[in-house]
Amino acid sequence: MLKNIASELSPDLLWCLASMGHGEKIVLVDRNFPAHEVARHTSSGKVIELPGLDIPAAVRVVLSVMPLDDFIPSPVACMQVVGEPEKILPMQEEVHRLAAAAEGRDVGMERLERFAFYEAAKKSFAVVRTSEFRPYGCFIFTMGVIFDSR
């Protein structure tokens, strides 16, 4: 047991986040995403389930312990709306705000075409599937660096 760790951070999710290094990616997705097919190609081969959490709740809990990369312009990526690549959905705006708040800075968010998103997700460390029911609740987060002040 651990203290001061959000209960939503399951042992498997904590292991993944603690195992990741700078520049590695984790994918947070909705329940429509082909999580197991994509996860077969990831570094860990894992799908981590977060039942009962929507995407904003999952993003909040993950970014409470995971720094985002500040060496790249867009440490967050989301899936474009098919047929409307310029459209930004309210959930995508919310995730963008959550990432900026967690980092205390503006955070770039790249939008990827659906199949390009699948290919990028296959290069991640793991896939985290939520109970999010809204479509296009699919995001990739790139791990940053913690600078120790000791």
Instruction: Name the 3-class secondary structure at 60.
Output: helix
Instruction: Just list the catalytic residues.
Output: 22, 69, 118
Instruction: Name the 3-class secondary structure at 129.
Output: strand
* Ramachandran angles phi, psi of 4, nearest 5°: 65, 20
Dihedral sign computed on CA atoms, order 58, 126, 47, 78 = positive
